[in-house]
Structure 1
């Protein structure tokens, strides 16, 4: 039996799930569903939160010092579910500790700057610790199938994409950038930043950004939306032969195909797009991947989710931050 520790006992750690709902939205519930991994400790700076979550998942061990619990339990995997600005310190302390897990599974973003990233990468290679980042759409079978269809040129060339997002360029914009890179397997460049809005996250503006794919030359527009009204996370892809809208956090897919009418005019008509079964739990799929990796120790199982894949994503995020620094002055 493999052992897991969860650091940070907030929503994504365990409180997103409800006993009234069978869906899986948190690390704790996902681990609970895997037969070969037990969560052996819950850690949080707020002991009450750690104790409460430990009680929910019938775990006797909880505390606020993750290093002492790692030394005690010697976990195979550690989930880092703490606020964004704490990720580097926690990962770095684990990597310089004598006892290290085989896998660190961290919520995005992995860290705050390139210096931190390079240090984490060097230490993880030296200690042979696999670091996986929860860029959640990489674990979504519908996005995986969509990627395959794009690779087969089912929709034709991408002409333009519009994305609405909220909650910070670094905190949630990283999901947008990672999804675009994952789907199209092509480098992105920032052309300009033309607006912004403030967020609840310190030093993390939600940016209006124009990007460009390297080879395809399709323009990508990211539009900031204020979550005080509601949370909005939508993709609108315009291809040569079709249009695909992914709305309301993947709860709605709208597909229109190009059609030539009797007047020889090009129109769009609704079509059914088969991307597979209904949305499965991304976090459950991620924990399943980790479970298989711990059992088989095959690097190819985790290569699409690793720290190496995250480097390109974070470089774009850091460039955006640099360009947007003028807005903060």
Structure 2
């Protein structure tokens, strides 16, 4: 399948290179896959286009216009890695004027509910295979945590807590997508404390799912990236740290220090599969059963936009 990247920035092609062990960019995922061939790229910055082609191949056709690229190239699969404000127009162009069936779109999906409703109508009409790139939902080690929960290896889940920097709609959406993936649909969401900064929400948020409840705390002003989650079970804890690159499970065992009490000991350390997140996402998109996840993430995106607009009103 002929592939194209729209948005020649970090996630598009600059986080890694062809000889990198990690697969962190859409360009690398397309290069690595035996099902795709990267033939075109698009960006409004000519320097980014040149840098992209220097890394990924001079034979890649470069465009400053999405429309011109779509008119000139026969593309089967596209990755949208531009800023959120541009997603609506790009998605509308693809869904209205092309036959492209496979679309990876970085989160957040679109900017507001009006854009969402218009794009959703096109999705229902055109029936594309669309993936909103909530990367942890496609991660093999996270899949193992989901099975650990389902099999009750550490007993039933009691609650969870999570911390991220950046806004609720941006990085916080990664938490909410992971919460729904692991515990089921979020049925109740409450703002405990929130402030608005740069058109997004920061503070403390409580949520309930079909099986458990938990909290999300987010903040701005830090000089580092943070994504952490702890899941508390009857008999242990799972810690998802370092953005998901470090996942460990702990189980309660009789304490060697204090008689009659139990302490947490390492139960299992999971492999760092998130270092291949662009590859994981592409592989999931090309599976036959990806439509159910698409609908789930579209529904979550709508829910997030409603929360965002209520907070900003």
Q: Structures share a fold, TM > 0.5? A: yes
Equivalent-residue separation in structure 1 for 2:117 and 2:306 (angstroms): 16
Query: Which residue is 2:291 aligned to?
Result: 303
TM-superposed CA distance for 1:278, in Å, is 5.1
Aligned mate of 1:220, from 204, 214, 220: 214
Query: Which residue is 1:273 aligned to?
Result: 268
Q: Which moved more, 1:178-187 or 1:16-25?
A: 16-25
**Which structure features the higher share of strand residues?**
2
* Structure 2: runs of 5 or more not aligned: none
Q: CA RMSD in A?
A: 2.2
TM-superposed CA distance for 1:49, in Å, is 1.0
TM-superposed CA distance for 1:274, in Å, is 5.2
Query: Which residue is 2:103 aligned to?
Result: 104
Query: Which residue is 1:163 aligned to?
Result: 162
CA deviations 1:67-87 (Å, max 9, x no partner) are: 121121120011100001211
Aligned runs of 1:1-329 on 2, under 5 Å?
2-18=1-17, 21-58=20-57, 59-97=59-97, 99-196=98-195, 198=197, 202-213=198-209, 215-216=210-211, 218-226=212-220, 228-260=222-254, 263-265=259-261, 267-273=262-268, 275=270, 279-290=274-285, 292-293=286-287, 298=288, 300=289, 302-306=290-294, 308-325=295-312
TM-superposed CA distance for 1:260, in Å, is 4.9
Equivalent-residue separation in structure 2 for 1:94 and 1:114 (angstroms): 19
* Structure 1: runs of 5 or more not aligned: none
Number of residue pairs the alignment of both structures matches:
310
Equivalent-residue separation in structure 2 for 1:234 and 1:19 (angstroms): 29
TM-superposed CA distance for 1:224, in Å, is 1.4
Alignment check: 8 A CA contact 1:43 1:63 kept: yes
Alignment check: 8 A CA contact 1:189 1:316 kept: no
Using structure 2 for the length normalisation, give the TM-score.
Answer: 0.90
Equivalent-residue separation in structure 2 for 1:269 and 1:285 (angstroms): 31
TM-superposed CA distance for 1:309, in Å, is 1.4
Equivalent-residue separation in structure 1 for 2:282 and 2:298 (angstroms): 22
- Cα distance, 1:278–1:310 mapped onto 2, change above 3 Å: closer
Using structure 1 for the length normalisation, give the TM-score.
Answer: 0.86
CA deviations 1:219-273 (Å, max 9, x no partner) are: 31111133533211100111111111111112323432123558544x3321231
SS in 2 for 1:156: coil
SS in 1 for 2:203: strand
Q: Which moved more, 1:100-109 or 1:281-290?
A: 281-290
